[in-house]
Amino acid sequence: MVRVLKPGGLIVARSSDHDGHIYFPQDSLIDESLKLIGQAVKRNGGDRNIGRHLRALFIESGIERVEASAS
């Protein structure tokens, strides 16, 4: 992505931070489902909380101007 970005170009990324999800009323089946999904994602090399790392990853990749926000 960075390799093909033109000078002055724009990269937009949006990703979740699943540890921040809140639901009510709490339900043990949902808790167990989310746990199993998290384990499957991790086994396959994913990170359900990658959103909290995106800014640092973009900076590490050499992008000079990085803006981050949460919604």
Residue ranges per domain, the chain?
Answer: 1-71
pTM reported for the whole predicted model: 0.70
List pLDDT tens digits, range 1-53: 888 888 888 889 988 888 888 889 999 999 999 999 999 999 999 999 999 99
What whole-number distance in Å separates Cα of residue 68 and Cα of residue 24? 28
Give me the DSSP letters along 12-38: ------GGG---SS--HHHHHHHHHHH
- What integer pLDDT is reported at residue 50 of this predicted model? 92
Name the helix (H) or strand (E) containing 43: helix 28-43
8 A C-beta contact, residue 11 and residue 63: yes
